[in-house]
């Protein structure tokens, strides 16, 4: 399931490190004990604007990112891609960076292949809940096309 982080309310800024997301999710009560460890971050992966992918919860642990869909792997891109919540970019980039998109497509393809995830199970948070996440400026159709194209051709995702 695809998300955007939006801003961390207490910081009034986008997270710069996964630890900030973990701390925010801890305050919201997203704690889980899994395989003898305690995790707070709701997502399994965070993708920063430079394309760096940081692991959150292990893939084998249930997420806390979408009620009723926490068995889905949660991937969140740092940013706020909602034209309503972030109309002029005051809360960060208005769309994912090219590096974020490249990392997202590569990660989705890897997870899809590893777990035999059908393409129609790659969804946005807004597809399952009454939310604007990951925002109307998130290029969801393009993501699905890239994943499908790389799957059909057996090639690696191409940069835009």
> 100, 46 in Cβ contact below 8 A?
no
For 115-152, the pLDDT digits (tens) are 999 999 999 999 999 999 999 999 999 999 999 887 66
In a domain, 42, yes or no: yes
The helix (H) or strand (E) run that includes residue 76 is strand 75-77
- Distance in angstroms (rounded) separating the CA atoms of residues 13 and 116: 36
Q: Indicate whether 159 belongs to any domain.
A: no
Is 61 inside any structural domain? yes
3-state DSSP assignment of residue 21: helix
In a domain, 133, yes or no: yes
Q: In the prediction, which pLDDT does 159 show?
A: 45
pLDDT band at residue 158, thresholds of 50, 70 and 90? very low
pTM exceeds 0.85: yes
Domain-embedded: residue 114:
yes
Domain containing 23: what range?
2-153
Structural domains of the chain, count = 1
Residue 123 lies inside a defined structural domain of this protein: yes
Give Cβ neighbours of residue 114 (< 8 Å, ≥ 6 apart).
none
| Phi, psi angles (nearest 5°) of residue 42 | -75, -25
Q: Is residue 160 part of a domain?
A: no
Give the confidence band of 89 by pLDDT, cuts at 50, 70, 90: very high
CATH of the domain at 37: 3.40.80.10
pLDDT of residue 156: 53
């Amino acid at each position: 399931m695809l998300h955007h982080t939006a801003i961390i309310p207490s910081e009034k800024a986008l997270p710069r490190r996964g630890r900030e997301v973990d701390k925010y999710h801890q305050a919201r009560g997203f704690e889980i004990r899994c395989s003898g460890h305690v995790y707070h971050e709701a997502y399994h992966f965070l993708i920063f604007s430079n394309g760096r992918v940081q692991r959150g919860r292990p893939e084998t642990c249930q997420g806390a990112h979408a009620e009723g869909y926490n068995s889905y792997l949660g991937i969140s891109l740092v940013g706020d891609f909602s034209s309503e919540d972030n109309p002029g970019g005051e809360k960060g980039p208005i769309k994912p960076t090219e590096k974020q998109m490249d990392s997202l497509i590569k990660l989705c393809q890897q997870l899809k292949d590893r777990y035999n995830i059908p393409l129609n199970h790659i969804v946005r948070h807004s597809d399952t809940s009454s939310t604007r996440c990951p925002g109307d400026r998130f290029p969801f159709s393009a993501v699905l096309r890239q994943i499908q194209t790389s799957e059909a051709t057996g090639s690696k995702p191409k940069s835009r």
